[in-house]
């Protein structure tokens, strides 16, 4: 039987993930002062690697975390080390270790880089892709820079846990009456054949699958309209679906216990196919 | 010479703080999923311990972190271990270790409890108390549950670092045109003899010094008015001061490069005296 202990790369050193210890004065531990990326591996290759690296660079820049060199080789190593055919890679980069002090101004810290990978022994979201998911709406009480992919994720954790406690699969955030995101996904809806998603802002993560689908639907001749979506539109939509690196594209069948449209899933299914087909290339 | 290596208590075990390593799958590290408290030690005793413990219990409850027993004995041990006459105690309680997954619903996790303490070899804020501090105003872009004392503190870190980069000492957050807090303090102002501070809400931490002063000023016959404070009131005030466990009470002399009032500091000085006098009892 294959050794299933996951191996990670921490500051360029190979470690077993379940043994990995990090300093208690890492600012990720004390302040959630870190950024991250999740990549999907199809057929041993990280999908849309360049796009994920560009977003990571943007997060590091926005957080003023300096001194991070190219980690592509380590990402590929983490996939090879764990002999991953289908799976994912998690990258977390913290600002570094320092005595606890909110301010990082003029501190020359060395970022800590964790890269872990795990194989999917079965498809992670096949059931969800087939059956769709149910969601609750939830006040978007996250901070004002959700466009930066940081580990300050408590609001996301609380909302997703709340959804689970209510028997739903996930939560869709509503800010000032408008849809922002899922708890770890972007949101699309379809009404009378038109596909819509909220425009980028400080309240929305620039999802890699979101942008991929905007491009792909445009090439299909059905451009996605990036426009604010009022909460009520969710309940009038023909289709609602969420997208993320791991979820790809998944239909939402119920929102706050109300069925979405008449159960149509044409566009969500196409969205998923567009992602998966491209990933197979 | 005295051994200055700080000792901490991690999950009831004594460790050197500079050697302490924590599991990389601690949710504090992955999500900032932890709450904390900072206590001030005067003459070997933690000041307002009961109040800090009550707030900690409230944070744990709000975050649904369960299974934390009474940590008072460990707090006292951390003070004794480090032979602290004057100093501080830092308590951080994370939800526990688990494979990375936003939701914590129905997971039986064991919280990790870190208690560290350090002595103040000189008074930590004597200069600030004597000279006052300068601040910038900053958009309050923190999340919607600032009343819970969690380590999701990136917005606070960014604002304080921004202040330092501009040559100021700290930042005061403004939300929808109104004062909420400092980057790690509560805010008071004085106008024509009346002391005001913003009322408690989800945007404001129920500061222990804040409540202490509300009670103490009331006993002095000068009750604090808890009322929303418009940003402009800062610039019309006779005095502005901030309060926190470590800062006690400190005058703000400049806001966005404009001097506060005519430099009067009567009430701020009294506030500090009320705290320090009570701490000496």
Residues of chain A contacting B139 with CB distance shorter than 8 Å: 144
- pLDDT for res A197: 98
CB contact under 8 A, A165 and B105: yes
Look at residues A44, A36, A72 and name the one whose alpha carbon lies nearest to residue B24.
A36
Residue of B nearest to A171 (CA): B103
Interface A-B, measured as beta-carbon pairs within 8 A, has a size of: 156
Give every CB contact of residue A21 below 8 A, 6+ residues apart in sequence. Answer: B21, B22, B23, B24
Place of tokens 């690296």: A53
Minimal CA separation from B88 to chain A, in Å: 12
- Measure CB to CB from residue A143 to each of B21, B102, B143 and give the nearest one: B143
- pLDDT for res B1: 44
Taking all residues of chain B, what is their mean pLDDT, rounded to a whole number?
97
Which residues of B are catalytically annotated? 149
Token pair of A241 as six digits:
């679906």
Q: Is A178 exposed, middle or buried (0-12, 13-18, 19+ CB in 10 A)?
A: middle
> Mind listing the pLDDT tens digit for each residue in A106-150?
999 999 999 999 999 999 998 999 999 999 999 999 999 999 999
Residue of B nearest to A35 (CA): B30
Which residues between 8 and 67 in chain B have a beta carbon less than 8 angstroms from any beta carbon of chain A? 8, 10, 17-18, 20-33, 63-64
Question: Is residue B187 a contact partner of residue B229, using CB atoms and an 8 Å limit?
Answer: yes
Question: Is residue B187 a contact partner of residue B228, using CB atoms and an 8 Å limit?
Answer: no
CB contact under 8 A, B143 and A158: no
Q: What percent of chain B has pLDDT over 70?
A: 99
A191 in active site: no
Question: What is the distance between the alpha carbons of residues A172 and A156, in angstroms, rounded to a whole number?
Answer: 10
Relative to beta strand B87-94, strand B258-259 is: unpaired
Catalytic residue among A149, A162, A196, A258: A149
CA dist list (Å): A265 to A185, A250, A251, A253, A255: 18, 9, 7, 9, 15
pTM beyond 0.90, yes or no = yes
Q: Is B91 on the interface with A (CB under 8 A)?
A: no
Look at residues A147, A142, A159, A87 and name the one whose alpha carbon lies nearest to residue A119.
A87
Opening angle at CA B52, ends B51 and B53, nearest 5: 90
Look at residues A174, A154, A183, A161 and name the one whose alpha carbon lies nearest to residue A242.
A183
- Going residue by residue through chain A (281 aa), what tens digit of pLDDT does each one get? 456 799 999 999 999 999 999 999 999 999 999 999 999 999 999 999 999 999 999 999 999 999 999 999 999 999 999 999 999 999 999 999 999 999 999 999 999 999 999 999 999 998 999 999 999 999 999 999 999 999 999 999 999 999 999 999 999 999 999 999 999 999 999 999 999 999 999 999 999 999 999 999 999 999 999 999 999 999 999 999 999 999 999 999 999 999 999 999 999 999 999 999 999 88
Model confidence at B34: pLDDT above 90: yes
CB contact under 8 A, B103 and A161: yes
Minimal CA separation from B44 to chain A, in Å: 22
Residues of chain B contacting A24 with CB distance shorter than 8 Å: 8, 10, 17, 20-22, 114
Residue of B nearest to A9 (CA): B24
Q: Is B151 on the interface with A (CB under 8 A)?
A: yes
B153: left (phi over 0), alpha (psi -120 to 50) or beta: alpha
Token pair of B30 as six digits:
């992955």
> Mind listing the pLDDT tens digit for each residue in B120-167?
999 999 899 999 999 999 999 999 999 999 999 999 999 999 999 999
Handedness of CA A220, A226, A230, A231 (dihedral sign): positive
Q: Is B157 on the interface with A (CB under 8 A)?
A: yes
CB contact under 8 A, A143 and B151: no
> CA Rg, chain A, in Å?
19
Collapsed DSSP state (helix, strand, coil) of residue B208: helix
CA dist list (Å): A112 to A183, B22, B137: 26, 14, 31
Minimal CA separation from B4 to chain A, in Å: 14
Question: What is the distance between the alpha carbons of residues A224 and A217, in angstroms, rounded to a whole number?
Answer: 7
Collapsed DSSP state (helix, strand, coil) of residue B170: strand
Question: Is residue B255 a contact partner of residue B202, using CB atoms and an 8 Å limit?
Answer: no
Q: Is A263 on the interface with B (CB under 8 A)?
A: no
Give every CB contact of residue A47 below 8 A, 6+ residues apart in sequence. Answer: A39, A40, A41, A279
Which residues between 206 and 235 in chain A have a beta carbon less than 8 angstroms from any beta carbon of chain B? none
Q: Is A109 exposed, middle or buried (0-12, 13-18, 19+ CB in 10 A)?
A: middle
Strand-pairing partners, residue B244, are: B248
Residue of B nearest to A27 (CA): B29
Question: What is the distance between the alpha carbons of residues B206 and A118, in angstroms, rounded to a whole number?
Answer: 42
Question: What is the distance between the alpha carbons of residues B145 and B204, in angstroms, rounded to a whole number?
Answer: 8
Question: What is the distance between the alpha carbons of residues A108 and A29, in angstroms, rounded to a whole number?
Answer: 18
ipTM of the complex: 0.97
Residue of A nearest to B27 (CA): A29
Question: What is the distance between the alpha carbons of residues A224 and A213, in angstroms, rounded to a whole number?
Answer: 8
CB contact under 8 A, B157 and A105: no
Residues of chain A contacting B153 with CB distance shorter than 8 Å: 30-33, 102, 152
CA dist list (Å): A195 to A19, A210, A256, A270, B76: 46, 12, 22, 12, 60
Opening angle at CA B271, ends A101 and B215, nearest 5: 105
Question: Is residue B257 a contact partner of residue B167, using CB atoms and an 8 Å limit?
Answer: no
- pLDDT for res A1: 43
Question: What is the distance between the alpha carbons of residues A196 and A214, in angstroms, rounded to a whole number?
Answer: 10
């Amino acid at each position: 039987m294959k050794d299933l202990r996951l191996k990670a790369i921490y500051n360029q050193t190979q470690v077993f993930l379940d043994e990995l210890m990090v300093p208690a004065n890492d600012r990720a531990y004390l302040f959630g002062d870190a950024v991250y990326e999740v990549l999907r591996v199809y057929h041993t290759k990280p999908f849309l690697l360049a796009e994920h690296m560009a977003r990571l660079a943007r997060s590091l820049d926005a957080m003023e975390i300096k001194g991070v060199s190219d980690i592509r080789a380590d990402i590929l190593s983490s996939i090879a080390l764990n002999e991953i055919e289908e799976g994912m890679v998690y990258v977390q980069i913290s600002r570094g270790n320092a005595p606890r002090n909110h301010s990082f101004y003029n501190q020359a810290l060395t970022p800590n880089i964790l890269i872990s990978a795990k194989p999917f022994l079965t498809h992670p979201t096949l059931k969800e892709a087939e059956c769709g998911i149910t969601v609750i709406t939830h006040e978007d009480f996250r901070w004002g820079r959700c466009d930066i992919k940081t580990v300050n994720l408590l609001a996301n954790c609380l909302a997703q846990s709340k959804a689970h406690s209510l028997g739903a699969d996930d939560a869709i955030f509503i800010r000032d009456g408008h849809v922002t995101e899922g708890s770890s996904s972007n949101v699309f809806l379809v009404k009378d054949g038109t596909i819509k998603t909220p425009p980028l802002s400080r309240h929305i993560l620039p999802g890699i699958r979101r942008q991929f689908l905007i491009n792909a639907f445009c090439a299909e001749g059905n451009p996605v309209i990036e426009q604010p979506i009022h909460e009520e539109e969710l309940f009038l939509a023909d289709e609602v679906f969420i997208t993320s690196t791991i979820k790809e594209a998944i239909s939402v069948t119920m929102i706050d216990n109300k069925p979405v449209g008449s159960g149509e899933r044409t566009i969500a299914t196409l969205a998923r196919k567009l992602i998966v087909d491209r990933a197979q290339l």
